[in-house]
Amino acid sequence: MKSLLPQNPNTGIAFREENLKEIYIAGGCFWGVQAYYSRILGVKESISGYANGTKENPTYEEVCTGATGHAETVKIVYDSTILSLEDIVERFFMIVDPTQKDRQSHDTGTQYRNGIYYLDESEKEIIERMIESKRQNYKNPIVTEVEKLKCFYEAEEYHQAYLDKNPGGYCHVSFDTLKD
């Protein structure tokens, strides 16, 4: 089956380590979030995983119970000379409903909450300013978590690049905002 996903524009780019930064995006099921961000110019890698919970090295099954406190999250490693944090956050608002608590589309549970997890306090200011600028666009309050990253565990291999491996797989994310 041919993939309906846009091509990844980052293949062949020689990223320089000194320009790389990380941000962690939770936006419901991580399959679509991972596939979406991997196709934005300047993203070196996007890795599905579990963030900001209480259990070390949780499994997917454990996270799905809601008992671990983890959110399905995508670690985004990006080149800050090509892509800004503001651009990443702007894209976040294109693929999630930030007013939905503990869910996105048909997925429900605390593991599907939306959030942006940062490493540096200066990033928090940028994220909060971006969220504030979006508030007038929504009837309901924005419930996006903005927290310092406490922990991140990579998801199982079968969750990595899931939509590339399973072109007909479930996805709540629209890829319409990506340019060819």
Residue 16 three-state SS = coil
Q: Compute CA distances 121 → 27, 69, 102, 124, 125, whole Å.
A: 21, 23, 25, 5, 7
Catalytic (active site) residue 29: yes
What count of other Cβ atoms lies within 10 Å of the Cβ of residue 121?
A: 8
Q: How far is CA 11 from CA 2, 41, 50, 84, 165, in A?
A: 19, 9, 26, 19, 17
- Enter the tokens of residue 50: 């579990």
User: Which residue among the candidates 29, 64, 151, 171 is catalytic per the annotation?
Assistant: 29
Q: Give the CB-side neighbour count of residue 101, counting CA atoms within 13 A.
A: 4
Determine contact, residues 162/169, Cβ cutoff 8 Å.
yes
- Residues annotated catalytic, as ranges: 29
